[in-house]
Structure 1
Amino acid sequence: MNIKLFARLMQCELCGAPIQGSPKTIQIEGAELRVCVRCAKHGTEVQQSRQRVVQKKTGIAVTQTRRRPRDVFDMMEGEIVEDYADRIRVAREEKEWSTLDLAQEVKEREVLIKKIEKGDLIPEDDLRRKLEKALDIRLIDSAEDTTSTGGPGRVTMTIGDVIAFRKGRK
């Protein structure tokens, strides 16, 4: 089958429209899809690893692969807490700041702060850090936040403990 004919028959795996030109490969929720240019904005574009052959002076061909660029999710420190909007609003009110005051403190627009406080928008990492610093709060669930508060010497049960316990009873 001719490549040009194959390209004409390709359909967007998201909207089903025929793909004009070369398809874009994006990732949505871990799945890689070949989509049209219009649907490419709905996911993270995946760079195809291209191999190229480099000819050395000795005449030996060596292949080099290009790495894919780091994704936003690769750089995340942890998950944002579910009640981030309430934490931000309460901390702002404790400082007796208006949304405009907070916006000026973190050098962002007031509309953005209002959307975050309503829970309509999750702050990106750089803005989250600014908010944490300005309001002296924590917005990330990290390993330190989820540790047991049972006190010193308190042991929590794991799945392995349950399995060992059941094997011991038999």
Structure 2
Amino acid sequence: MQCEMCGAESKGPLKRVRIEGAELSVCSNCAKYGTELPGAAKSPAALASRATGYTQASVPQARRSRDLFDQLGGDLVEDYADQIRNARLKLGLSQKDLALAMMEKELLIKKIEKGELIPEEDVRKKIEKELGIKLIEDSSLESLDIHQSRMTTTMGDVIKIKKVKR
């Protein structure tokens, strides 16, 4: 079987992993880049527990960090950098003042405001609290807006295909 991420032939079973929102069957080398999904291919620890008769709960396993997209409760707004900058300026704070209030480094605030860095969940929550803004958009409202605002003309409405006579 072939790994869907690196393309290498896998000698063992592939693992089902979520990487940046996509579910892939990957080799054990590439599995470290995402979050292993439940019900996926069994790990060597699980196979060993079956052979020894111990239950899965009694076998210690290393805890994996979650994928960045698993940690976000919703989608980060596209113009998060502008919203943060505008809210900071509206409150009359400098980047240094905001960083001190959040107990973070000033460089972190600068990179986030430039859009070079996506804030992690804990930093995002601190920013929202200090500036009184919301950086996560509600996906349920967005899906309703897409269906309601679909009244524009598309290419499929305009194109007429002519059949060639033979």
Give the TM-score normalised by the residue count of structure 1.
0.57
Q: CA separation of 1:144/1:102 partners in 2, compared to 1, >3 Å: closer, same or farther?
A: farther
Given that 1:27 and 1:33 are in contact with CA atoms closer than 8 Å, whether structure 2 keeps it comes out as: no
1:135 pairs, out of 107, 131, 136, with 131
Question: Rg larger in 1 or in 2?
Answer: 1
Query: Larger % of helix: which?
Result: 2
Greater strand share, structure number: 1
Q: Give me the whole-angstrom Cα distance separating, in 1, the residues matched to 2:130 and 2:84.
A: 10
Among 24, 31, 53, the residue aligned to 2:24: 31
Q: Please show how residues 115-154 of structure 1 align to structure 2 within 5 Å.
A: 115-143=111-139, 146=142
Corresponding pairs, count? 134
Structure with more relative contact order (C-alpha pairs < 8 Å, separation 6 or more): 2
Q: What are the residue-to-residue correspondences of 1:91-170 with 2, within 5 Å?
A: 91-143=87-139, 146=142
CA distance in 2, matches of 1:40, 1:69: 10
User: Which consecutive unaligned segments of at least 5 residues does structure 1 have?
Assistant: 1-10, 56-60, 150-155, 160-170
Deviation digits for residues 29-62 of structure 1 (CA, Å, limit 9, x no counterpart) = 32232264xx666x2253864242388xxxxx68
The letter for the 1-side match of 2:66 is D
Give the superposed CA RMSD: 4.5
Does 1:85 pair with 2:75? no
Cα shift at 1:129: 0.6
Which residue number corresponds to residue 8 of structure 1?
Answer: none
Residue range with higher mean Cα deviation, 46-55 or 79-88:
46-55
